[in-house]
A and B are shown apart, each in its own frame.
Chain A
């Protein structure tokens, strides 16, 4: 039984990709890199066959572009100016999240941990990030279940949130935290007795290894960055 193929890039390349895109997009002159980052995120989603993610990313990028650049041209007004500012700020996060989603979707917690170890990251960081990656779906699952319970209890809805925002948030957060803590306790106990965080030097079933895809992705990223710098879209 072979380990499933979870993406062709080495985990270290995927991590590096997220770091580089985040730094570029969030820098003071980062808007010029946003279209390239959005295109990269969409292309990665398509290679993952994650059609919904690809569609959502493209749609979110298009909506932010419309709100941030087209709407003020169509109707110059203080309201559209505020919307434009919000969209121009948010589109950077959309671009970063699009690339990070590829890392999360294609990298298992153990592969991430092995990749970080191979990159000589301190072990506490490798273990912590692996646990975080495993814990995301747990929290998401618990949040969805609490939201369902609120819907059935007639406690969900915009009306209640607008009238009593603190109470609505409390009703959501308290059961979600309680359920997440319970789930995380089992997960932590099981991982600890199976050696997670052990003082022994961990190994990997399939040690991370660079292939031709990694330098190819690096070249493509450099080309996209150069094109963005030269063309100055959105800047």
Chain B
């Protein structure tokens, strides 16, 4: 079904080839996992298979031959290839062309000129199960990451291609969503689809793959049959920089009450006034007697008329990393924006017992965004640090911070020319120089291998070291296990939950008593 012979590819301006002499033959109906450390060439290999190389990424040098279902991908048009190959990119929300499930499912069939009646029938067939979960009028951007992934896979297979390519489909998914993804892959396998998955997480594919191909520096390093892979230990995977079993992590919850606090995971009975649980104390881990804990009190936020966050009380300890967990739409991003002073809300945010206004919170907070390119403003790495230092406490030494984060050699480089991991370290360095006391990491481990995961976890730990409050928004159980001490699990605000803003509490009256 897919045959690669001596395939090499070098991106324009790259000093090294991304693929080196790859020979690979994938038979019809086979399920193959491509894995390896970040930058080993997994995604590039998928781009070669679906024809984006050389038709979309035109600047570069390709040698060797690639055939998919008898089509030479270098000569066939992209739409010819698109008819036989479905592709799901790493970030589903970035690839949606529309904002509704039916339109997204119909998109490829419309472009390929399927009869309208057939499109409607296929959309009804594929969309029915999704509609039962998300509702017929659901907007794609409002769905959880797991549901977005399901829609992306359904949209890529709606026109019945014979091959499906998936680029890190499990990144950004919680353990539950990964299990649902495994179910989807299993049913497509049953249907006889040939599948190639580029992945860091492999164990959920244990009983689904026929072959695992490990890439290193653009070449095939190791190949395991499905049976051989099932016998490989987690320790052996770790030696290759690969992720092992995804295990759900349960950390000690922070002290929190509210309708948005997940009842099953973290909810605590509301504290009566003066309860020691909410009394102002110093950071437990740091021993900061001045009291640097961060507190939310009666925080409620409505967006578009809809209540999206309702936290009666929550305390984040200084010197610790708190993982903020929960499905998409649970209010994690809203909570982060409130803490950072970017979102108006009812209620108070306090630090060390002192109420902080929005402007004060903006001056105290650094956010390490998922796409860190958005927060790099200077011409050079050193300039970025100096820019941050100009607004920070006196005496911070840019070069020593750069040296501590292994960025000194890059001081003269343009920040946008750095790799994703280097950019992330630069933003952390800037936050440190600027003296920020609250640091929020937003999904920092999207699509990274085991070695980089440890490096990111180290960054997060270091950010918490000087009695700072660190919030880690993540679905990645592997990262949470490495980097977090506590957790706050959010869910959509429960009707009648504790702290409901309309004053109607639970039947036992706790909500009213707590207001």
> Which of B95, B110, B416 lies in contact with A178, CB distance below 8 A?
B416
Binding site secondary structure of chain B? helix
Contact across chains for A203 and B340 when beta carbons are under 8 A apart = no
Q: Which of A91-99, A169-177, A225-233 contacts B (4 or more CB under 8 A)?
A: A169-177
> Which of B136, B155, B366 lies in contact with A152, CB distance below 8 A?
B366
Contact across chains for A175 and B374 when beta carbons are under 8 A apart = yes
A116-145 near B? 1/0 per residue, CB < 8 Å:
000000000000000000100000001001
Contact across chains for B99 and A108 when beta carbons are under 8 A apart = yes
Whether A152 contacts B365 in the complex (CB less than 8 A), given A1-B101, A203-B119, comes out as yes
B480 at the interface (CB under 8 A from A): no
Contact across chains for A110 and B137 when beta carbons are under 8 A apart = no
Which A residue sits closest to B104, measured CB to CB?
A110
Contact across chains for B373 and A178 when beta carbons are under 8 A apart = yes
B376 at the interface (CB under 8 A from A): yes
CA distance in complex: A148, B442 (Å): 14
B362 at the interface (CB under 8 A from A): yes
A4 at the interface (CB under 8 A from B): yes
Contact across chains for A189 and B52 when beta carbons are under 8 A apart = yes
Among residues 179 to 214 in chain A, which have CB atoms less than 8 Å away from a CB atom of chain B? 179, 182-183, 186-207
A153 at the interface (CB under 8 A from B): yes
Contact across chains for B137 and A4 when beta carbons are under 8 A apart = yes
B363 at the interface (CB under 8 A from A): yes
B362 smallest CB distance to A (angstroms): 6
Contact across chains for A186 and B89 when beta carbons are under 8 A apart = yes
For B116, list chain A residues within 8 Å (CB). Answer: 203-207
CA distance in complex: A187, B115 (Å): 25
B365 smallest CB distance to A (angstroms): 6
Which A residue sits closest to B125, measured CB to CB?
A1
B79 smallest CB distance to A (angstroms): 4
A150 at the interface (CB under 8 A from B): yes
Contact across chains for A187 and B94 when beta carbons are under 8 A apart = yes
Which B residue sits closest to A111, measured CB to CB?
B103
Which A residue sits closest to B124, measured CB to CB?
A1
A35 at the interface (CB under 8 A from B): no
> Which of A176, A195, A206 lies in contact with B111, CB distance below 8 A?
A195
Q: Which of B16-24, B127-135, B205-213 contacts A (4 or more CB under 8 A)?
A: B127-135
Q: Which of B80-88, B232-240, B467-475 contacts A (4 or more CB under 8 A)?
A: B80-88
> Which of A3, A114, A183, A191 lies in contact with B97, CB distance below 8 A?
A191
Which B residue sits closest to A146, measured CB to CB?
B374
Whether A196 contacts B97 in the complex (CB less than 8 A), given A2-B102, A149-B369, A205-B102, comes out as yes
> Which of B51, B97, B127, B371 lies in contact with A1, CB distance below 8 A?
B127
Contact across chains for A195 and B112 when beta carbons are under 8 A apart = yes
For A204, list chain B residues within 8 Å (CB). Answer: 110, 116
CA distance in complex: A170, B171 (Å): 33
B266 smallest CB distance to A (angstroms): 27
Whether A188 contacts B82 in the complex (CB less than 8 A), given A171-B377, A194-B108, A204-B116, comes out as no
For A111, list chain B residues within 8 Å (CB). Answer: 103
Whether A151 contacts B342 in the complex (CB less than 8 A), given A2-B136, A4-B100, A110-B98, comes out as yes
B223 at the interface (CB under 8 A from A): no
Contact across chains for A203 and B102 when beta carbons are under 8 A apart = no
CA distance in complex: A206, B103 (Å): 10
For A198, list chain B residues within 8 Å (CB). Answer: 77, 79, 82, 111-113
B123 at the interface (CB under 8 A from A): yes
User: Interface size for chain B: under 10, 10 to 19, 20 to 34, or 35 or more residues?
Assistant: 35 or more
B91 at the interface (CB under 8 A from A): yes
For B246, list chain A residues within 8 Å (CB). Answer: none
CA distance in complex: A110, B52 (Å): 22
Contact across chains for B377 and A145 when beta carbons are under 8 A apart = no
B107 at the interface (CB under 8 A from A): yes
CA distance in complex: A75, B382 (Å): 54
For B82, list chain A residues within 8 Å (CB). Answer: 192-195, 198
Whether A151 contacts B362 in the complex (CB less than 8 A), given A1-B130, A2-B136, comes out as yes
Which A residue sits closest to B155, measured CB to CB?
A194
CA distance in complex: A190, B140 (Å): 16
B442 smallest CB distance to A (angstroms): 10
Which B residue sits closest to A148, measured CB to CB?
B342
Contact across chains for B56 and A189 when beta carbons are under 8 A apart = yes
B391 at the interface (CB under 8 A from A): yes
> Which of A149, A186, A188, A194 lies in contact with B374, CB distance below 8 A?
A149
B323 at the interface (CB under 8 A from A): no
> Which of B52, B96, B103, B337 lies in contact with A3, CB distance below 8 A?
B103
A28 at the interface (CB under 8 A from B): no
A206 smallest CB distance to B (angstroms): 7
B257 at the interface (CB under 8 A from A): no
CA distance in complex: A148, B434 (Å): 17
Contact across chains for A192 and B102 when beta carbons are under 8 A apart = no
A76 at the interface (CB under 8 A from B): no
B375 at the interface (CB under 8 A from A): yes
A185 smallest CB distance to B (angstroms): 9
CA distance in complex: A214, B135 (Å): 29
Q: 22 A-B Cβ contacts within 8 A? A: A1-B105, A1-B131, A2-B136, A108-B100, A108-B103, A110-B103, A134-B98, A153-B375, A154-B363, A186-B94, A191-B95, A194-B108, A195-B79, A195-B83, A195-B159, A198-B111, A199-B77, A199-B79, A200-B111, A200-B112, A202-B111, A205-B116
Known: A3-B123, A195-B79. 5 other contacts (CB 8 A): A1-B130, A3-B100, A148-B342, A190-B94, A205-B109
What residues of chain B have their CB less than 8 Å away from a CB belonging to chain A?
50-52, 55-56, 77-79, 81-83, 85, 87, 89, 91, 94-103, 105-116, 119-120, 123-124, 127-128, 130-131, 136-137, 155-156, 159, 337, 340, 342, 362-363, 365-367, 369, 371, 373-377, 387-388, 391, 416, 430, 434
Q: What 5 A-B pairs have minimum CB-CB distances, sorted nearest first? A: A195-B111, A1-B127, A190-B95, A198-B79, A149-B375
